[in-house]
Each structure stands twice: as C-alpha cells, then as structure tokens.
Amino acid sequence: MSSSREFPKTTVPPHTADEEEASGVFVFPGGQLVAVVIADESARARVLDIVRQGPYLAGGPDIVSSAVVVIADSGLPAPPPRSVDARTTLESRVRDLRRVARAGAAIILALDSRWSPEACAAAEAAGAFACLRTPLASESLEAVVKSATATHDAQTRIADLTRQLDLHSHLASLGRFTGGLHHELKNPLAVVEMNVNLVRDELSTLLEGRELLRSVAFAPVADRAKREQAAREFLARTEAYTGDLEAAIEDARLALERMRRLFGRLQNFVRREERAPDPVDVGALVRELRDGAAPLLEGVDVELVLHDELTALVVRPYVDEIFMNLAANAATAARTLSSPRVRFHAYASGDRVVVSVRDNGPGIAPEIQSQIFDPFFTTRRADGASGLGLALCREYATHMGAELSLWTAPGRGACFRLHLRRA
C-alpha cells in the first residue's frame, strides 16, 4: 500500500541560504539592481559603498544587462581640456552601454572636471540620464540614483497602463467588429438555412413521387389504372414544387454570393500587403479616376478643380478603391436633392497633396460622425451596404502613408479629404 505525501504548510518560497542552494533558485532579498562600471578600483569601491547604503543591489559589469541603473566612467582616460573629440567620446560611451544594458535602464556617467560641459550635454543628448562630477558626493549620487529608479518605476507603470489600454481598446474594437460581422451575416445565413430546410422537405416529397411513378411503371395491368390515377393526383398536388425549389435554390445562391463578397472585402480589410508608393501626377490621376467612375456618377453634375504640377506618392490600386468608394457615396448623397452635384478638388497643403470629394447632399448627422469609419457601420443597410467601404478606404490610406479625414455639416454636404504625401 503506497503512502500519501502531505503538502507543505506554506507555499511562500524559502529565503534561507541553504534552502535556496538546495532548490536551485536564487531569491533576491529586495531592491533594484545597480551596475557600477568604473575602471578605477578605489572609485568603484566608493560608489558601491554609497549605493549599498540604499535599498539597492549593487554589482559590477556582469549585471549590466539586468540593472535598472548603470553608473559608468568615460571608458577612456580623461581627454585634454576642451578636447575636440570629447563629445564624440562620451556619445560613443553612452551608445556602447545602451547596447548591452536592459531597455529603459538609466545611465549615469561619473566624470572628472576635465570633461567639458558641452561633452556632458552631448552625452545626455545621446541618452545618458545624468552626468556627475567626481569625486562623487554621497548625497548627490543617492539623489540621482533615487530619481533614476523612480523614473524607471514610473515608466514601467506607464508602459503597463498603456498595454492595458491597448488591450481594452483592442477588445472593444474586436467586440464592435464581431458584432457587426454577426449582424451582417445573420440575414443571409437565415435565408440559406430556411431554403435548405425547404429543399430538404420538398425533396422527400419528390422522392415519394419517384417511388409512386416506379410502382406505376411496374404495376400489373389490372392495377395500372388505379396507380396512374394516384400518380396524376400526386403531380397535380406537387405542380408548384419545381418552381418553389428553383426559387429556394436561387435565394440560397444569392445569400451565399453576398457572404462571399463580404468575406472578400474582409480579406482586403485585414490584409497587410506592403506596396511601394510611386510618384504620380495628381491632376492626371483624378481625371482618369473621374472617367472610370462615370457610371457611378450618372445624372450628377461633376465639377473638377485641379491645380497644376502636383505630384504625390500613391499606391495606385489603393487610390482606385478609395476614389470609387468616395465617388459612389458622394453620388448617393447628392441624389437626395433635385440638382445633385459632386466636386473633385486637388490642391497642395504644406508637405501634402489633398484630393477631396465633396457632395451637396444632406450631410452626416453629428451623432454618427465618430462612427463613420468603423467597420460594418452604415446608414444604408437596407440597400445592401455592408459598412466596410469607408473602413477599407481608411485602411488603404494608412497603408500608403496617407490620411483620410471628413468635414461635414447638416444641410451642407460632406467632404472627404485624402491627404497624400507630396513627392
């Protein structure tokens, strides 16, 4: 009979030296790591004594990769006063320490008076937390190390909060996205399910009729007349079945086609395909796109306002998709009026080239303006819109380093602006 093994009375890790050695786990008694990288032995010993008076764990170069604070000398003998190479020397020292130190570690340089203030300023510009003059005073070093560790703690908390906010934002976006996807797929899935059930039920009836016709074909002569009558009655009763089945199959096919298009657009939405932008004459581009969008703009008064010699960096397939979406939306909004108008305007704005598409429609209500670029948000769901058009446009703009913005006012139309990088 095997004996049972009892659990220990506590799960707190052991802290005695013997237990640590037996378990193979090294337990820090508390405090943050400070690495001291100073060549002069007496100076290094003094710095270690000062640091160890505080709540820190001090060590040599072997703990640089783990330390929160690194206290180091210049790594070279001090240069002559006002040396031309002093700034470069300290910048290189900071860069070398940064390469081996942990991310976010504070680097404190201990320098004698022969290093110029300009060289110290260059070191701090290169990423040093502070420069202190030797011989180091206990109070000054303790204050700087305390400030460095407090800064590291604050940065760590900020990074943690940022990650949490990013996670919450991601989950919220994912919730909106999946909610919209569910809403968009719910109706076509219901159509497919209903029609598949209809086909299944009517197929069983048709199989019954097949068996009836088979019995007529192989019936004895004496029973044939009665079975033929039964077959005629069955055909009369199921005469509309063929039409119902054809309609059901067509409805299911259209619903599946709608879902296929939706998933095709979703694939475009999530795809991270990298394409190099090319310099393009914006005036010629807008004219070509306007001509390509002519079927979408039928019955709409189109105005072109193009400034000369505008060249921007664009990814052509992305711009085509953006322009067609904006043109279609503008035409739809403008047609709510008796005199629909759409204006395409290209102009320079600082280091950007802006292409705007404006309509004279009713504008976008203030309460929905913040949602206009959200996936699956649409005010035209009854017309079959999926709500992915503007979300896809913004995604394409981001991929090629551009921005898509909206200006609108009730009763004054809407204006979408594509801010392209100027070539």
With 70 as the cut, is the pLDDT of residue 392 above it?
yes
Quick: pLDDT tens for 29-69: 456 889 999 988 888 898 998 888 888 888 888 888 888 99
Phi-psi map region of 260: left, alpha, beta (phi>0 left; psi -120 to 50 alpha): alpha
The pLDDT, as a whole number, for residue 268 is 58
Residues 400 and 391: their CA atoms lie apart, in Å, by: 15
Residue 84's pLDDT band (cuts 50, 70, 90):
low
Output the six-digit token pair for 207.
Answer: 């199989």
Average pLDDT value over all residues in the chain: 79
101-115, 296-310, 342-356, 387-401, range with the lowest pLDDT: 387-401
Question: H-type helices in 338-414, by residue range?
Answer: 389-399
With 60 as the cut, is the pLDDT of residue 88 above it?
yes
Find out whether the peptide bond into 135 is cis, omega within 30 degrees of 0. yes
Question: H-type helices in 218-240, by residue range?
Answer: 221-237
Model-wide pTM > 0.75: no
Residue 284's pLDDT band (cuts 50, 70, 90):
very high
Whether CATH 3.40.50.2300 fits 17-136: yes
CA 222 to chain centre: 78
Higher-pLDDT residue of 275, 28: 275
Angle between helices 282-292 and 316-334 (to 10 degrees): 60
Q: What are phi and psi of 233, to 5 degrees?
A: -65, -40
Residues linked to residue 358 through DSSP beta bridges, in sequence order: 343, 415
For 252, residues 6+ apart whose C-beta sits below 8 A from its C-beta are 191, 192, 195, 196, 199
Residues 399 and 353: their CA atoms lie apart, in Å, by: 16
Output the six-digit token pair for 315.
Answer: 């990814």
The pLDDT, as a whole number, for residue 419 is 94
With 70 as the cut, is the pLDDT of residue 79 above it?
no
Higher-pLDDT residue of 216, 137: 137
Q: How many residues does the chain have?
A: 423
The pLDDT, as a whole number, for residue 415 is 94
Quick: pLDDT tens for 312-351: 999 888 898 899 889 989 999 999 999 999 999 999 988 8
Closest Cα partner for 109 from 72, 59, 135?
72
Strands 278-281 vs 311-314: parallel, antiparallel or unpaired = antiparallel
Q: How many C-beta neighbours within 10 Å does residue 180 have? A: 19
69-78, 94-103, 319-328, range with the lowest pLDDT: 69-78
Residues 129 and 151: their CA atoms lie apart, in Å, by: 10
Q: What is the dihedral of CA 330, 323, 180, 377, to 10 degrees?
A: -30
Residue 252's pLDDT band (cuts 50, 70, 90):
confident
Residues 294 and 309: their CA atoms lie apart, in Å, by: 25
With 50 as the cut, is the pLDDT of residue 28 above it?
no
Q: Could you tell me the end-to-end alpha-carbon distance of the chain, in angstroms, rounded to an integer?
A: 84
Domain 278-422, architecture per CATH: 2-Layer Sandwich (3.30)
Quick: pLDDT tens for 180-218: 666 567 777 888 888 888 887 777 777 777 676 666 666
With 90 as the cut, is the pLDDT of residue 354 above it?
yes
The pLDDT, as a whole number, for residue 265 is 59
The pLDDT, as a whole number, for residue 18 is 42
The pLDDT, as a whole number, for residue 203 is 73
